[in-house]
Structure 1
C-alpha cells in the first residue's frame, strides 16, 4: 500500500470543517489502498514562530524515504520555500482556501502569505482543492498548472431532516469566530430586524481569534441583543446536531469560503439558507 504522511497542524479533533475533512481522509484512505499516518505539526500555523518552523523542518525531513507527504494547506502555505525544497519526499498539497485571502490580517502578512503559498505550491507535485472554485483560484492567481489539481469536495453524510422551531424563528451560524466569518456584519444586519421575533445561536470557537471574539461580544452588547444572540463557543457533534434540528434558517455572512461545509450540511437537513457568496459559497 502507498504510505502517506498526512501533516496537519494543531488538534485534529478540533470542531471545524477543515479538521473534520482531515479526520474523514484518515478514515477513508485505507479503502483506496493508502496507509495514512497522522504527522502532527505545531498549532501556531498559519502564523508559526521560528521555533515551530524549526520543529516542522525536523519532522518533515525525518519522513521515511518513499513516503508521500500530504500537507494540509493551513501549514503548507505558510512554509518558507527553502524549507519545502529540502523535503526529499513527493509532496501533495491539500488546499481548503488560500491563506492570503483570509480576512483580518495585515497587508504585510497578507503579502507574505500570498508569496509563500505560491512558492510552496510551485514545489508540490500534485494539489488537492476542496472545491472547483478553489481549484480555479489556484490556477488563475497562484500559477498552479490545472492538470496537477484534483478536486475532492467534502460531501455530507445522510442525516435526518431538521424539525425546526418556528416561534421564535431560530437562526443558526456555525464557524469559529474570526474576521473572515463576518459575524459583525450579521449582528448589525439583525439589529435592524429587532422588531421581529428571532433568536441567533453562533456555534464556533471563541478561542481561535480572541480579539475578534471579544469585539463580537462587545458589539452584541452595544446593539442591545444580548438576550437574542447566544455565543455557544465550540460544540461537539451531538450538540451541533441538536442545534441543526431546531434551526429554521442557517445564516452565513462569511467573506470567503473554500467550500462552505456548513451550507452543505444545512441543505442535507432541509434547513433554509441565507448566505453571502464569498469564494465557493
Structure 2
C-alpha cells in the first residue's frame, strides 16, 4: 500500500523566531494550507548542512512515499535526492535559484548541486515567476516540470501610519542580501531633514558580523536616535509595527519574491524597493510601489528625500496605496496550487495501471 502522507522536509529552525525568514514563513503557511485541505502533512525537521540527517530521513521512508523538500535542503543534499529519485516521489520547493544568490563562493559547484537536486525531482514548485525563469535560463530544470505558487497575503486592517508621515520600516533578516547597509548609507545623507525615523526589524543572528557592521554604520552616521535595529518581532508586535508605518523600504540585493512588499501593499502602505529578482512581481503594477536600482544608496536616498520633502506626493502615494489595497492571492490559493502539483505526482503503480488502461 502506498503511503498517503506528504513528508515535508524543512529546515530545523522553521519555528525559531530568531531564524525567521520568508522561506520559513512560506513553508509553515503552505503546510497549514495543505492540512486544511485534508492532506496528511508530516513535517521532518533537518539541519540544512547535515546531509546525513537528510539521508537518514529519506531512507526511512517507504517506497513511493511523497516527499516535499525545501530547496535549501535539497541543494545541500543533492546526492541523496539523486540516490532516492526512483524510489521516492520527490517534489522540490525552490524559494530561490541558489546559484543566483550574491556572494556564493563556488557558484559553479552550487549550480551543479542545484541541477542534480532538481533533476531528481518529479516536479518543482517555485515561489515566483522570476525564480522559475531563473531556473530555466540556467538550465537547472525543464519548464514543464516547474509550477509557480506565489506567497499569499492575509486580509488585514489598513495601516494608520504616523502623524508626521515620517516613520520608515524595513523588515527582513539583517543580512547582506537584504541590503540594510544600503538603507543606512542612504539615510546617512538625510540628517538635515526633520521628523523621520526608521525601524529595521529582523533577526540579528542570520549574519552576526553583518549585523555588527550595520550597527556600527548607524552609530558612525550619528543615526542612533533615528534608526533602530529592533530585532525579531512576531504576531501582534509585528502587526502593530506595520500599522504605525508610513513607508516600507526593501533595499534588497537579492529577492525571489518580496513577501514584505506584498504584505505592506495589502496593508495600504506605500513601498520603496530595489528592482531586483521577484520584487517587481510582488508590486504587481501597484502605483504605490516605487522601484530603485539595487545596491544604489544614492538612488534610494533621492526617493526617500522626496518622500519627506514633498507632502503632496507623499499623500498621493498613501492614497493610492489605500485605494488599491487588495489581497491578490490568499494563502489558501497558494496551498491549492501546491496541492494540485502533489496530486499529479502519482505512485509508480498508479502510473503503470493508467498506462495499461490507456493501452487497452
Question: With structure 2 as the length reference, what TM-score do the two structures score?
Answer: 0.72
Gapped regions of structure 2 (runs ≥ 5):
280-360
Aligned partner of residue 251 in structure 1, secondary structure? strand
| Whole-Å separation in 2 of the counterparts to 1:172 and 1:145 | 39
Q: Partner residue of 1:117?
A: 114
Aligned partner of residue 128 in structure 1, secondary structure? strand
Asked whether the 8 Å contact 2:7–2:41 carries over to 1, the reply is: yes
- Match for residue 267 of structure 1 among 260, 265, 268: 265
Q: Partner residue of 1:93?
A: 92
Structure having the higher helix fraction is: 2
Aligned partner of residue 177 in structure 1, secondary structure? coil
Aligned partner of residue 65 in structure 1, secondary structure? coil
Asked whether the 8 Å contact 2:10–2:43 carries over to 1, the reply is: yes
Deviation at 1:33, TM superposition (A): 4.5
Q: Partner residue of 1:256?
A: 254
Asked whether the 8 Å contact 2:165–2:246 carries over to 1, the reply is: no
Deviation at 1:126, TM superposition (A): 0.1
| Whole-Å separation in 1 of the counterparts to 2:266 and 2:42 | 31
Aligned partner of residue 5 in structure 2, secondary structure? strand
| Whole-Å separation in 1 of the counterparts to 2:207 and 2:163 | 33
Deviation at 1:168, TM superposition (A): 6.1
Q: Partner residue of 2:9?
A: 7
Aligned partner of residue 56 in structure 2, secondary structure? helix
Q: In the alignment, is residue 30 of structure 1 matched against residue 31 of structure 2?
A: no
Range with greater deviation from structure 2 (91-100 or 30-39): 30-39
Q: Partner residue of 1:143?
A: 140
Cα deviation code 1:3-58 (max 9, x no counterpart) = 2100001222243221111111111113445211001111xx3xx2xxx2112211
Q: Partner residue of 2:286?
A: none
Structure having the higher strand fraction is: 1
Asked whether the 8 Å contact 1:256–1:278 carries over to 2, the reply is: yes
Asked whether the 8 Å contact 1:76–1:93 carries over to 2, the reply is: yes
Q: Partner residue of 1:229?
A: 227
Q: Partner residue of 2:167?
A: 170
| Whole-Å separation in 2 of the counterparts to 1:27 and 1:64 | 24
Q: Partner residue of 1:198?
A: 196
Deviation at 1:137, TM superposition (A): 1.1
Q: Partner residue of 1:158?
A: 155
Cα deviation code 1:102-141 (max 9, x no counterpart) = 23343x2x33222211221111110000111111111111
Cα deviation code 1:240-260 (max 9, x no counterpart) = 101100000000110121110
Q: How do 1:182-197 residues align onto structure 2 when only pairs under 5 Å count? A: 182-196=179-193, 197=195
- Match for residue 129 of structure 1 among 126, 130, 134: 126
Q: Partner residue of 1:18?
A: 23
Aligned partner of residue 161 in structure 2, secondary structure? coil
Aligned-residue RMSD, C-alpha: 1.5
Q: Which has the larger radius of gyration?
A: 2
| Whole-Å separation in 1 of the counterparts to 2:92 and 2:228 | 37
Aligned partner of residue 102 in structure 2, secondary structure? coil
Q: Partner residue of 1:61?
A: 59
Cα deviation code 1:215-235 (max 9, x no counterpart) = 111111111111111111111
Asked whether the 8 Å contact 1:176–1:206 carries over to 2, the reply is: yes
Gapped regions of structure 1 (runs ≥ 5):
none
Q: Partner residue of 1:74?
A: 72
Asked whether the 8 Å contact 2:51–2:76 carries over to 1, the reply is: no
Cα deviation code 1:194-222 (max 9, x no counterpart) = 11221111111000111111111111111
Q: 1:206 to 1:270 in 2, by over 3 A?
A: same
